[in-house]
């Protein structure tokens, strides 16, 4: 994982070119915003994915804003959008699927805590563990 991305960000789709040496990760953050990062890999780096731009910084408030920004910023993704008109729909479905899963797995509701008080402490503990885990080199 790139040091530019946070472990709490959930990648809902990675899009690669046919040569498998360029990739864009689309993700959402716990605060509900979206983001993306572009990567490359080559033999000189032992096949490790290396971020090639600083796209991960901006927060996009909607899926449409994210998709439009990624397509404008990453040349080959724009080319792929033109050659695959169904790409946006596929990306949107992936986003919807993972947002629903993240909402389910995130902070428990008050009624869930009343029904199972141990869930609140285990959810809090897992968030602390995830936030303090060291990043792999």
Q: Which residue has the tokens 């008109």?
A: 85
Domain assignment of residue 51, yes or no: yes
Domain assignment of residue 137, yes or no: no
Domain assignment of residue 3, yes or no: no
Spatial separation of the C-alpha atoms in residues 75 and 67, rounded to whole Å: 13
pLDDT at 121 over 60: no
Domain assignment of residue 53, yes or no: yes
Domain assignment of residue 124, yes or no: no
Q: What pLDDT band is residue 104 in, cutting at 50, 70 and 90?
A: very low
Could you list the residue range(s) of the whole structural domain that residue 22 is in? 10-106
Q: Report the chain's mean pLDDT, rounded to a whole number.
A: 75
Q: Encode pLDDT of 44-103 as tens digits.
A: 888 889 898 888 888 999 888 999 999 999 999 999 888 888 888 888 888 887 766 544
Domain assignment of residue 123, yes or no: no
Q: Which residue has the tokens 């909607």?
A: 62
Q: Which residue has the tokens 């060291």?
A: 134
Domain assignment of residue 82, yes or no: yes
pLDDT at 100: 61
Q: What is the dihedral of CA 116, 120, 121, 125, to 10 degrees?
A: 140
Domain assignment of residue 119, yes or no: no
**Domain count of the fold of the chain:** 1
């Amino acid at each position: 994982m790139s040091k530019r991305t946070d472990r709490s960000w959930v990648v809902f789709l990675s899009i690669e070119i046919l040569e498998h040496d360029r990739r864009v990760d689309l993700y959402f953050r716990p605060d509900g915003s979206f983001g993306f990062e572009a990567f490359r890999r080559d033999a000189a780096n032992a096949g490790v994915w290396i971020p090639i731009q600083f796209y991960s910084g901006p927060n996009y408030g909607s899926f449409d804003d994210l998709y439009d920004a990624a397509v404008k910023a990453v040349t080959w993704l724009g080319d792929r959008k033109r050659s695959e008109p169904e790409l946006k729909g596929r990306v949107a479905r992936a986003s919807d699927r993972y947002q629903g899963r993240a909402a389910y797995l995130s902070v428990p509701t008050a009624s869930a805590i009343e029904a199972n008080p141990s869930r609140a402490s285990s959810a809090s503990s897992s968030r602390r563990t995830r936030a303090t885990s060291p990043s792999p080199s």
